[in-house]
Amino acid sequence: AQKITQTQPGMFVQEKEAVTLDCTYDTSDPSYGLFWYKQPSSGEMIFLIYQGSYDQQNATEGRYSLNFQKARKSANLVISASQLGDSAMYFCAMREGLDTGRRALTFGSGTRLQVQP
Amino acid sequence: KAGVTQTPRYLIKTRGQQVTLSCSPISGHRSVSWYQQTPGQGLQFLFEYFSETQRNKGNFPGRFSGRQFSNSRSEMNVSTLELGDSALYLCASSLEGTYNQPQHFGDGTRLSIL
């Protein structure tokens, strides 16, 4: 089974509107973290936001927020007030076994977001 | 603060050759991980090094190997290159300590096999 599932290969959003990118995950480990990265066409991976499995509140970082629903195993990224520069691939990733110190990430297949003027 | 630096940015090789890619982590970061990104398989974890020791390994054949030096710089080597090894190879570094430390990625090395 896929550990990280991103069901939206592509999304369009109008500039200044909000958009939600879906991510569901599968793990039996009680200690895990979820990350979102942005990859522009230039190729670099840019860290956006993190949510830990034990965190009580949904994470927020500027225009990015994470809608974390632990029981449903979903960690959707919400981008508010979209900008043209937000056009990129977005990846959801999971790190299991947070207490092991290991850093390996499992990535989803990504969602390509296009912001239209 | 300088980011993760990967060299070279682009590389063209032929089947059967070997290649070495280099990664310099962010200063102070001792954990270095490598990932392969292809259109078909997406982003896949190769291996992770910490304090010159391989801490974790993905599901790749033995042709893929790596090492880390005492200054935390890392290299990965691919021997007997195959056409399917054409990919963007990404290196990432992170701080130890709290579990919420993200991995910071370099710009990658794009490897093309002819």
Q: What is the mean pLDDT of chain A?
A: 94
Q: What is the pLDDT of residue A115?
A: 97
Contact criterion met (CB < 8 Å) for B88 and A45: no
If we measure between CA atoms, which residue out of B76, B92, B100, B113 comes closest to residue B32?
A: B92
Confidence of residue A1 (pLDDT cuts 50, 70, 90): low
In this predicted structure, the answer to whether residue A18 has a pLDDT above a threshold of 70 is: yes
Residues B85-98 have a mean pLDDT of 90
The residue among A71, A51, A47, A69 whose CA lies nearest residue A59 is A51
Under the banding of pLDDT at 50, 70 and 90, the label for residue A20 is: very high
pLDDT band at A40; cut points 50, 70, 90:
very high
Pick from A35, A47, A104: CB nearest B48: A104
- Mutation test of the interface with chain B: which of A45, A53, A66, A95, choosing the one with the most B Cβ atoms within 10 A? A45
Q: Is residue A38 within 8 Å of A46, Cβ to Cβ?
A: yes
* pLDDT at position A43 over 90: no
Instruction: Report chain A's C-alpha Rg in angstroms.
Output: 14
CA dihedral A92, A98, A103, A109 (to 10 degrees): -20
